[in-house]
Amino acid sequence: MTNKRKISILGSTGSIGTQALEVIEKLKDKFEIIALSGGSNVELLRQQAEKFKPKYVCIGKDTNQKIRIEGVEVLYGTQGLEQICSNKENDIILVAVSGKIGLRPTLTAIENGIDIALANKETLVMAGDIVMARAKAAGVNIIPVDSEHCAIHQCIKDISQVEKLIITASGGPFLKKSFEDMKNATVSQALAHPRWNMGRKITVDSATLMNKGLEIIEAHHLFNMPYDKIDVVVHPQSIVHSAIEYVDGSVVAQIGLPSMHIPIQYAITYPERFEGIKSKSFSFSQIARLDFEKPDYEKFPSLNLAYSAGKTGGSATVCLNAANEEAVFAFLDGKIKLYDIYKITQTMLQNHNIIKSPTIDEIFAIDEEVRLKTRELI
Ligand code: NDP
Ligand code: MG
């Protein structure tokens, strides 16, 4: 990059967002930050703004907190996010908010021809057809941050020669636990992920393997790959981040330490590469072994639920995402057991009337309706 790349981060106060700022700090001469946005952690947002001196910050969640930072314009709410994503000064926007809040700003950035580093998987699960079609029409790059998709992005040279995608899953904290232990797990057991330190919602999804389910849908949209050509393999060490098999039987995998700094850096510097925080830290001789096994679909039925919703398509994945998220929140609030997340999501999907090609407004309406009904069911 000869000139500094101008970047904004939506969700800079989250797990991905804070790691992205660590990457940028290491590559300070490569980036200029246009905007940072947080949800309700206003104090952290202020500290980030004072350190990184963006032009704008946005306090995303409705809150009465107002802040003043010298030289920084403060924006608020979804309108603020829209303003950031309409600002054509940006070369790239990292969408690292959690949940459905990521969808509209992503579409706005696409409309404005701004490339996207996409962490927020809900955007593709809810509206992958629309998002990818609009990005293609606008000539906008969507570079995946999710480590598996980032791995696949690095492996693919020519998608037309790819036979299948092989997505790895760590298996989460219950891989070696009994079905009974998993069903009745406490919140702290579900949050104790053996490999990755992430936000709470995605960590619970990793314990049920719904995260892998959402990733199958994400991969389907990103790489335009039919669901029967997307496999999942459990790989507890999280060293192989995913792989692809070419038509000639050659398999190409991307490997590295389990650290989100690497995929975040890849996505925001693409197509260039630079020495980063985790450079020179990988050693084959320090890896004792790599294990692989088939996922246990009976113990982790959420994975099949996601395959089935993905294949159904249309609003099914909107329903899947909304019902699962509400159930995860209820689990985190201590209202239901871990296994109930699956049962509730399954019931919601069974009762859902599919709309084949929903518009964005319909997607949000369905999302709201499903959430309401899921809360009633809970
Ligand atoms: P976190 O919960 O750690 O962070 C979420 C971010 O979004 C925070 O900055 C939060 O602000 C902000 N936010 C939440 N709600 C709102 C809102 N209503 N308006 C504006 N901002 C809001 O999540 P993660 O960083 O773990 O994940 C972010 C996304 O990336 C998710 O979609 C996740 O699936 C995906 N992802 C994450 C990975 C990881 O390793 N963490 C790996 C792959 C994908 P605040 O905290 O200030 O309230
Ligand atoms: Mg992932």
pLDDT digits (tens, 9 = 90+) for 293-321: 999 999 999 999 999 999 999 999 999 99
Q: What's the pLDDT score for residue 195?
A: 81
Which of 97, 120, 131 best tests ligand 1's pocket when mutated (most atoms within 8 Å of CB)?
Answer: 97
> What is residue 80's three-state secondary structure?
helix
Q: How far is CA 300 from the centre of its chain?
A: 20
- Regarding whether 257 and 157 lie in a shared domain, the answer is yes
Which atom belonging to ligand 1 lies closest to the Cα atom of 14?
4
Ligand 1 and 17: CB distance under 6 A? yes
Q: CA–CA separation, 173 vs 191, rounded Å? A: 8
pTM (predicted TM-score): 0.97
- Mean pLDDT of the region 133-150: 98
CATH of the domain at 63: 3.40.50.720
Ligand 1 and 244: CB distance under 6 A? no
Q: What's the pLDDT score for residue 47?
A: 96
- Mean pLDDT of the region 217-221: 98
> What is residue 13's three-state secondary structure?
coil
Structure confidence by residue, pLDDT tens digits, 227-250: 999 999 999 999 999 999 999 999
Which of 93, 202, 242, 259 best tests ligand 1's pocket when mutated (most atoms within 8 Å of CB)?
Answer: 202
pLDDT at 376 > cutoff 90: yes
Tally the domains of the chain: 3
- Regarding whether 358 and 240 lie in a shared domain, the answer is no
Q: How confident is the model at residue 193 (pLDDT cuts 50, 70, 90)?
A: confident
Can you point out the beta strands (E) in 153-285? 162-169, 230-234, 240-246, 251-255
CATH of the domain at 372: 1.10.1740.10
Q: CA–CA separation, 93 vs 114, rounded Å? A: 7
- Residue 278: phi, psi to the nearest 5? -105, 15
* 30, 31, 79, 87 from 3: Cα distances, Å: 7, 8, 29, 18
Write out the H or E segment, with its range, that includes residue 130: helix 122-138
Which atom belonging to ligand 1 lies closest to the Cα atom of 123?
32
User: Which of 305, 324, 348 lies at the terminal end of a domain, its last residue?
Assistant: 305
Structure confidence by residue, pLDDT tens digits, 343-353: 999 999 999 99
Write out the H or E segment, with its range, that includes residue 231: strand 230-234
Q: What's the pLDDT score for residue 1?
A: 72
Q: How confident is the model at residue 62 (pLDDT cuts 50, 70, 90)?
A: low
Give residue 11 CA to ligand 1 midpoint distance, Å: 6
Give residue 339 CA to ligand 1 midpoint distance, Å: 24
Structure confidence by residue, pLDDT tens digits, 69-95: 889 999 999 999 999 999 999 999 999
Q: CA–CA separation, 317 vs 47, rounded Å? A: 37
Contact 56, 76 (CB under 8 A): no
- Regarding whether 264 and 172 lie in a shared domain, the answer is yes
Ligand closest to Cα of 195 equals 1
CA angle 72, 96, 224 (to 5 degrees): 135
- Regarding whether 358 and 253 lie in a shared domain, the answer is no
- Mean pLDDT of the region 346-374: 98
- Regarding whether 26 and 121 lie in a shared domain, the answer is yes
14: which residues sit within 8 A by CB, 6+ positions away?
A: 38, 39, 96, 97, 98, 199
Give residue 97 CA to ligand 1 midpoint distance, Å: 4
Ligand 1 and 325: CB distance under 6 A? no
Quick one: what percent of the chain has pLDDT higher than 90? 93
pLDDT at 26 > cutoff 70: yes
Q: How confident is the model at residue 41 (pLDDT cuts 50, 70, 90)?
A: very high
Structure confidence by residue, pLDDT tens digits, 103-124: 999 999 999 999 999 999 999 9
- Regarding whether 301 and 359 lie in a shared domain, the answer is no
- Regarding whether 133 and 58 lie in a shared domain, the answer is yes
- Regarding whether 31 and 46 lie in a shared domain, the answer is yes
What mean pLDDT is reported for the chain? 96
- Mean pLDDT of the region 169-198: 91
- Regarding whether 10 and 138 lie in a shared domain, the answer is yes
Q: What domain range is 134 assigned to?
A: 5-144
User: Which of 267, 289, 305 lies at the terminal end of a domain, its last residue?
Assistant: 305
- Regarding whether 270 and 169 lie in a shared domain, the answer is yes
Q: Residues with beta carbon < 5 A to ion ligand 2?
A: 146-148
